[in-house]
Amino acid sequence: MTVNQDAGDWRSAWQPVIDAVGRDFSDGAVTLGADRVERGAIRRYLEPLELDCPLHTDPRAARDHGFADVTMPYTGVIAWTLPPMWQPGRSLFGSADRDAQPEHSPINNQDMPLGPRTTGFFATDVEFDFLRPVTAGERVGRRGRRLVSCSPKETSVGRGAFLTWESDIVTDTGEVVARIRTGTYAYEPRERPE
C-alpha cells in the first residue's frame, strides 16, 4: 500500500496494522540463528566486559551447577538468534549514504504485508524473560513473530509507528529458553532541507 505521507489521514494507513495486534506474522515458524554458540565466541564476548564468572568460562564449574557446558551470558544471546545478515556475493548496504538502511535484515519492516511501506527503521527497546541460560554447543533461534502493539506517531525523524513484537527463543530441538519483546519504529523519513 502506498500512502501520501503529506495527507492528513496518514495515521489511518496504520489501521490495518493496529487491527492485526495479536497476530503471529510468522505462523509459528522457527528461524534459527546462523551458528551454534561456541566457547570461543563466549570468551570473545566476555573479554571487553571482563566478565569473570566460572559459569561462562569453566566447563567443570558449569557442569557442577547442572549445565551441559559453559553458558552464554544472557546479554549475548540475541546475537545467536539472528540468521546471517550478510552472505558472500551479496551487499548488505546498497548505498553509502549517511542514513542508509541495510537491504537485508531480519529485524526491519520489509516483510510487513500490512500498512504503509516505510524506508526508515530502528529498534527502540528490547526485553527478555529467560527460562534458562543457553549453553555452548546449542543452536538457538526465534519462533513466532507476534505483533503486540502498534502506535502511529510523528517524530522528529518522520511519520511512522512504534511496533512491539514478541517471539520465543528456542533451541534447535524446540525447547523454549526465553521470550523476547522488541520495540521498533518503522517510519518514512522527513525530507531534509538542502
DSSP for 107-124, please give it: TSSTT--SS---SEEEEE
Residue 70 belongs to some domain of the structure: no
Contact 4, 187 (CB under 8 A): no
pLDDT-above-70 percentage for the chain: 90
> Is residue 46 domain-resident?
no
Domain assignment present for 149? yes
- The C-alpha cell at 100 is 542508509
Q: Which domain holds residue 185?
A: 10-36+77-189
53 domain residue, yes or no: no
- pLDDT of 193: 64
Whether 47 is covered by a domain: the verdict is no
Which DSSP helix (H) or strand (E) runs through 159? strand 158-171
Provide the pLDDT confidence category of residue 92 given band limits of 50, 70 and 90.
Answer: confident
Examine the pLDDT at 7 and tell me if it is beyond 70.
no
Residue 59 lies in a domain: no
Mean pLDDT of 72-83: 92
Domain assignment of residue 50, yes or no: no
Q: Is residue 45 part of a domain?
A: no
CATH code at position 94: 3.10.129
Sign of CA dihedral 153, 158, 160, 161: negative
Percent of the chain with pLDDT over 90: 68
**How many separate domains does the chain show?**
1
Q: What sign does the CA torsion over 49, 50, 56, 57 have?
A: positive
29-43, 55-69, 111-125, 142-156: least confident range: 111-125
Separation of alpha carbons 31 and 71, rounded Å: 21
